Amino acid sequence: MTSHPPVTPSQLRTVLGHFATGLTIITAATPDGPAGFTCQSFASLSLDPALVTFSPARTSSTWPLLRAAGSFTVNILPAEHEHLSGQFARSGSDKFAGVGYTASPLGNPVLDQALAWVDCELHQEYDGGDHTIVVAAVRALAAREAAEPLIFYKGAYARVHRTPALQGALA
Ligand SMILES: Cc1cc2nc3c(=O)[nH]c(=O)nc-3n(C[C@H](O)[C@H](O)[C@H](O)COP(=O)(O)O)c2cc1C
Protein backbone atom coordinates (compact mmCIF):
# COMPACT_ATOMS: atom_id res chain seq x y z
CA MET A 1 0.00 0.00 0.00
CA THR A 2 1.40 3.43 -0.90
CA SER A 3 1.56 5.92 1.94
CA HIS A 4 0.38 9.47 1.43
CA PRO A 5 1.27 12.49 3.54
CA PRO A 6 -1.72 13.43 5.69
CA VAL A 7 -4.17 15.92 4.19
CA THR A 8 -4.16 19.11 6.27
CA PRO A 9 -7.14 21.34 7.16
CA SER A 10 -5.43 24.18 5.31
CA GLN A 11 -5.17 22.07 2.11
CA LEU A 12 -8.81 21.05 2.44
CA ARG A 13 -9.89 24.68 2.86
CA THR A 14 -7.86 25.84 -0.15
CA VAL A 15 -8.68 23.05 -2.60
CA LEU A 16 -12.33 22.50 -1.62
CA GLY A 17 -12.83 26.28 -1.76
CA HIS A 18 -12.79 25.82 -5.55
CA PHE A 19 -16.25 24.31 -5.24
CA ALA A 20 -18.52 27.35 -5.66
CA THR A 21 -21.75 27.31 -3.67
CA GLY A 22 -24.65 29.52 -2.76
CA LEU A 23 -25.03 30.67 0.84
CA THR A 24 -27.82 30.26 3.36
CA ILE A 25 -28.80 31.56 6.78
CA ILE A 26 -30.65 28.89 8.73
CA THR A 27 -33.07 30.35 11.28
CA ALA A 28 -35.52 29.23 13.95
CA ALA A 29 -37.89 30.74 16.49
CA THR A 30 -36.65 29.74 19.94
CA PRO A 31 -38.00 30.48 23.45
CA ASP A 32 -35.26 33.14 23.74
CA GLY A 33 -36.06 34.80 20.40
CA PRO A 34 -34.92 34.25 16.83
CA ALA A 35 -31.66 32.34 16.22
CA GLY A 36 -29.67 31.62 13.08
CA PHE A 37 -26.29 30.97 11.51
CA THR A 38 -24.63 31.35 8.10
CA CYS A 39 -24.28 27.98 6.37
CA GLN A 40 -22.54 27.07 3.12
CA SER A 41 -22.96 23.30 3.39
CA PHE A 42 -26.63 23.25 2.38
CA ALA A 43 -27.73 20.95 -0.48
CA SER A 44 -30.85 19.34 -1.86
CA LEU A 45 -30.92 15.61 -1.04
CA SER A 46 -34.14 13.77 -1.98
CA LEU A 47 -37.24 14.60 -4.02
CA ASP A 48 -39.49 11.83 -2.64
CA PRO A 49 -39.47 12.08 0.30
CA ALA A 50 -38.57 15.80 0.18
CA LEU A 51 -35.28 16.10 2.07
CA VAL A 52 -32.43 18.61 2.27
CA THR A 53 -29.12 18.44 4.12
CA PHE A 54 -26.60 20.78 5.77
CA SER A 55 -23.70 20.37 8.21
CA PRO A 56 -23.31 22.50 11.34
CA ALA A 57 -19.90 22.50 13.06
CA ARG A 58 -19.75 20.68 16.39
CA THR A 59 -18.62 24.03 17.87
CA SER A 60 -21.77 25.87 16.71
CA SER A 61 -23.68 27.35 19.63
CA THR A 62 -26.70 28.05 17.39
CA TRP A 63 -27.29 24.52 16.04
CA PRO A 64 -28.33 23.10 19.48
CA LEU A 65 -30.98 25.87 19.67
CA LEU A 66 -32.31 24.98 16.20
CA ARG A 67 -32.24 21.26 17.02
CA ALA A 68 -34.24 21.92 20.21
CA ALA A 69 -36.74 24.00 18.22
CA GLY A 70 -37.24 20.95 15.95
CA SER A 71 -38.09 23.09 12.93
CA PHE A 72 -36.05 25.73 11.09
CA THR A 73 -35.99 27.66 7.83
CA VAL A 74 -33.16 27.68 5.29
CA ASN A 75 -32.95 31.20 3.82
CA ILE A 76 -31.12 31.12 0.47
CA LEU A 77 -29.29 34.43 0.18
CA PRO A 78 -29.60 36.96 -2.63
CA ALA A 79 -26.54 38.96 -3.78
CA GLU A 80 -27.59 41.94 -1.63
CA HIS A 81 -27.29 39.88 1.60
CA GLU A 82 -23.48 39.73 1.64
CA HIS A 83 -23.42 41.78 4.87
CA LEU A 84 -25.93 39.41 6.53
CA SER A 85 -23.68 36.44 5.73
CA GLY A 86 -20.97 38.07 7.88
CA GLN A 87 -23.42 39.19 10.56
CA PHE A 88 -24.85 35.67 11.04
CA ALA A 89 -21.36 34.12 11.22
CA ARG A 90 -20.38 36.06 14.38
CA SER A 91 -20.94 33.78 17.36
CA GLY A 92 -22.43 35.41 20.44
CA SER A 93 -23.50 38.64 18.70
CA ASP A 94 -27.02 40.04 18.24
CA LYS A 95 -27.34 38.49 14.80
CA PHE A 96 -30.87 39.85 14.11
CA ALA A 97 -29.99 43.51 14.84
CA GLY A 98 -31.54 45.61 12.05
CA VAL A 99 -32.76 42.52 10.18
CA GLY A 100 -36.33 42.43 8.85
CA TYR A 101 -38.20 39.14 8.68
CA THR A 102 -41.64 37.57 8.60
CA ALA A 103 -42.85 34.22 9.96
CA SER A 104 -42.72 31.09 7.79
CA PRO A 105 -45.63 28.60 7.86
CA LEU A 106 -43.75 26.74 10.65
CA GLY A 107 -43.23 30.06 12.49
CA ASN A 108 -39.52 30.58 11.73
CA PRO A 109 -37.86 33.80 10.47
CA VAL A 110 -37.96 34.29 6.68
CA LEU A 111 -35.45 37.08 6.02
CA ASP A 112 -36.71 40.03 3.96
CA GLN A 113 -35.43 39.73 0.35
CA ALA A 114 -34.45 36.05 0.75
CA LEU A 115 -33.89 34.55 -2.71
CA ALA A 116 -35.79 31.46 -1.56
CA TRP A 117 -36.75 29.82 1.72
CA VAL A 118 -37.22 26.21 2.73
CA ASP A 119 -39.23 25.40 5.88
CA CYS A 120 -37.97 22.15 7.45
CA GLU A 121 -38.35 19.77 10.34
CA LEU A 122 -35.41 17.80 11.73
CA HIS A 123 -35.41 14.25 10.30
CA GLN A 124 -32.02 12.66 11.17
CA GLU A 125 -28.51 13.60 12.34
CA TYR A 126 -25.36 11.65 11.43
CA ASP A 127 -21.73 11.84 12.49
CA GLY A 128 -19.70 14.04 10.15
CA GLY A 129 -16.33 14.31 11.90
CA ASP A 130 -16.01 17.82 13.34
CA HIS A 131 -19.44 18.60 11.83
CA THR A 132 -22.81 16.90 12.18
CA ILE A 133 -24.75 15.93 9.04
CA VAL A 134 -28.35 17.11 9.34
CA VAL A 135 -31.09 15.62 7.17
CA ALA A 136 -34.26 17.71 7.25
CA ALA A 137 -37.77 17.11 5.89
CA VAL A 138 -39.14 19.91 3.70
CA ARG A 139 -42.61 21.11 4.77
CA ALA A 140 -43.00 24.31 2.68
CA LEU A 141 -40.88 26.42 0.34
CA ALA A 142 -40.98 29.37 -2.06
CA ALA A 143 -38.63 31.41 -4.26
CA ARG A 144 -38.40 35.06 -5.29
CA GLU A 145 -37.99 35.47 -9.03
CA ALA A 146 -35.95 38.25 -10.68
CA ALA A 147 -33.21 38.18 -8.02
CA GLU A 148 -29.58 37.06 -8.18
CA PRO A 149 -27.90 34.61 -5.74
CA LEU A 150 -24.95 35.29 -3.44
CA ILE A 151 -22.05 32.96 -4.30
CA PHE A 152 -19.09 31.84 -2.13
CA TYR A 153 -15.95 30.85 -4.02
CA LYS A 154 -12.32 30.48 -2.89
CA GLY A 155 -13.07 32.15 0.45
CA ALA A 156 -14.69 35.25 -1.06
CA TYR A 157 -18.12 36.45 -2.12
CA ALA A 158 -18.94 36.40 -5.82
CA ARG A 159 -21.89 37.01 -8.10
CA VAL A 160 -23.31 35.06 -11.00
CA HIS A 161 -22.65 36.26 -14.55
CA ARG A 162 -25.06 34.47 -16.82
CA THR A 163 -24.55 34.64 -20.57
CA PRO A 164 -27.55 35.97 -22.54
CA ALA A 165 -27.58 32.80 -24.69
CA LEU A 166 -27.81 30.49 -21.68
CA GLN A 167 -30.52 32.62 -20.06
CA GLY A 168 -32.56 32.30 -23.26
CA ALA A 169 -32.08 28.52 -23.43
CA LEU A 170 -33.28 28.06 -19.86
CA ALA A 171 -36.26 30.40 -20.10
C1 LIG B 1 -19.38 31.94 4.05
C2 LIG B 1 -19.60 31.16 5.31
C3 LIG B 1 -20.01 29.82 5.26
C4 LIG B 1 -20.22 29.08 6.43
N5 LIG B 1 -20.67 27.79 6.37
C6 LIG B 1 -20.84 27.08 7.53
C7 LIG B 1 -21.31 25.73 7.49
O8 LIG B 1 -21.58 25.15 6.43
N9 LIG B 1 -21.46 25.08 8.68
C10 LIG B 1 -21.20 25.70 9.88
O11 LIG B 1 -21.35 25.09 10.93
N12 LIG B 1 -20.75 26.97 9.92
C13 LIG B 1 -20.58 27.67 8.79
N14 LIG B 1 -20.13 28.95 8.84
C15 LIG B 1 -19.75 29.50 10.14
C16 LIG B 1 -20.95 29.85 10.98
O17 LIG B 1 -21.82 30.79 10.37
C18 LIG B 1 -20.45 30.41 12.31
O19 LIG B 1 -19.45 29.60 12.82
C20 LIG B 1 -21.56 30.39 13.28
O21 LIG B 1 -22.50 31.35 12.94
C22 LIG B 1 -21.00 30.64 14.65
O23 LIG B 1 -22.03 31.08 15.44
P24 LIG B 1 -22.82 30.16 16.43
O25 LIG B 1 -21.87 29.79 17.52
O26 LIG B 1 -23.88 31.10 16.82
O27 LIG B 1 -23.31 28.96 15.70
C28 LIG B 1 -19.97 29.70 7.68
C29 LIG B 1 -19.55 31.05 7.74
C30 LIG B 1 -19.38 31.78 6.57
C31 LIG B 1 -18.94 33.21 6.66
Tens of pLDDT along 118-146? 999 999 999 999 999 999 999 999 999 88
pLDDT for position 159: 94
**Contact yes or no for 149/114 (Cβ under 8 A):** no
Ligand 1 nearest atom to the CA of residue 131, by list position: 11
Whether 23 is in the pocket of ligand 1, judged by its Cβ within 6 Å, is yes
Centre of ligand 1 to C-alpha 4, Å, is: 30
**Mean of pLDDT values over 60-75:** 98
Alpha-carbon distance of 152 to 22, in angstroms, equals 6
The protein residue whose alpha carbon is closest to atom 3 in ligand 1 is 40
- Tens digit of each residue's pLDDT (9 = 90 or more) over 140-161: 999 998 899 999 999 999 999 8
Mutate to test the pocket of ligand 1, among 21, 27, 32, 37 (most ligand atoms within 8 A of CB): 37
Q: What is the mean pLDDT of the chain?
A: 95
| Cα distance between residue 146 and residue 135, in whole Å | 29
DSSP letter for each residue of 23-76: -EEEEEEETTEEEEEEES--EEEETTTTEEEE--BTT-SSHHHHHHHSEEEEEE
Position in ligand 1 atom list of the atom nearest CA 157: 1
39 lines ligand 1 (CB under 6 A): yes
167/163 Cα distance (integer angstroms): 6
What pTM did the predictor assign?
A: 0.94
